[in-house]
Amino acid sequence: MGRRGPRRLSALRPRRRGPWSTEGLKAILPVVSDQRPWWRHAVVYQIYLRSFADGDGDGTGDISGLISRLSYLSSLGVDAIWVNPWYVSPLIDGGYDVADYRDINPLFGTLDQAKELIVKARQAGLRVLIDLVPNHTSWEHEWFKAALQASPGSPERRRYHFLSGRGEHGQLPPNNWKSAFGGSAWTRVPDGEWYLHIFDKSQPDLNWSNQEVRDEFVDILRYWLDLGVSGFRVDVAHALVKQSDYPDAVEDRETLLSNPYSEDHPLWDRPELHEVVREWRSVLDEYHDVVMVAEAWVSGWNRLALYVRPDEYHQTFDFHFLRAPWDSDSIRSTIEDSLSATTSVGSIPTWVLSNHDVVRHVSRYGLRPDVDERDWLLHGGDDQIDLELGLRRARAAALLMFALPGSVYLYQGEELGLHEVDDLPEAVLDDPVWDRSAHTEKGRDGCRVPLPWSRSGPSFGFGEDGSWLPQPEDWAELSVESQEGVEDSTLELYRRAIRIRNERLRGDQDLVWIENSPKVMAFRRTDGLMCLVNFGSSPVALPEGDVLLSSGPLKSGLVPSDTAVWTAKR
By annotation, the residues acting in catalysis are 235, 286
- In the bound state with ligand GLC, the residue whose beta carbon lies nearer, of 147 and 234, is 234
CB of 235 vs ligand GLC, minimal distance in Å: 5
Q: Which residue among 54, 62, 79, 93 contacts ligand GLC (CB under 6 A)?
A: 93
318 binding ligand GLC? (CB under 6 A): no
- Interaction with ligand GLC in 41-80: which residues (CB under 6 A)? none
CB of 508 vs ligand GLC, minimal distance in Å: 28
Provide the strand spans (E) within 14-140. 43-47, 80-83, 87-88, 100-104, 127-132
235 binding ligand GLC? (CB under 6 A): yes
List all residues 6 or more positions away from 356 whose beta carbon is below 8 Å from its beta carbon: 46, 48, 84, 94, 411, 444, 447, 448
Q: Which residue among 47, 63, 236, 505 contacts ligand GLC (CB under 6 A)?
A: 236
CB atoms within 10 A of CB 415: 25
CB of 476 vs ligand GLC, minimal distance in Å: 28
- In the bound state with ligand GLC, the residue whose beta carbon lies nearer, of 318 and 562, is 318
**CA distance linking residue 202 with residue 97, whole number of Å:** 7
Q: Which residue among 52, 82, 96, 208 contacts ligand GLC (CB under 6 A)?
A: 96
For the beta sheet containing 563-568, the strands, ordered from the edge strand earlier in sequence to the opposite edge, are 511-516, 520-525, 530-534, 563-568, 546-550
- In the bound state with ligand GLC, the residue whose beta carbon lies nearer, of 235 and 562, is 235
240 binding ligand GLC? (CB under 6 A): no
92 binding ligand GLC? (CB under 6 A): no
- In the bound state with ligand GLC, the residue whose beta carbon lies nearer, of 314 and 356, is 356
* Chain residue at closest Cβ approach to ligand GLC: 96
**CA distance linking residue 403 with residue 543, whole number of Å:** 15
Strands 530-534 and 563-568: antiparallel
- Interaction with ligand GLC in 280-299: which residues (CB under 6 A)? 295
CB of 102 vs ligand GLC, minimal distance in Å: 18
Axis-axis angle for helices 273-284, 211-226 (nearest 10): 30
CB atoms within 10 A of CB 219: 12
336 binding ligand GLC? (CB under 6 A): no
199 binding ligand GLC? (CB under 6 A): yes
Number of residues that bind ligand GLC (CB under 6 A): 9
Cβ atoms 77, 499 nearer than 8 A? yes
321 binding ligand GLC? (CB under 6 A): no
The C-alpha angle with vertex 504 and arms to 498 and 507, in degrees rounded to 5, equals: 100
The C-alpha angle with vertex 102 and arms to 267 and 40, in degrees rounded to 5, equals: 65
- Binding-site ranges for ligand GLC (CB under 6 A): 93, 96, 133, 199, 235-236, 295, 356-357
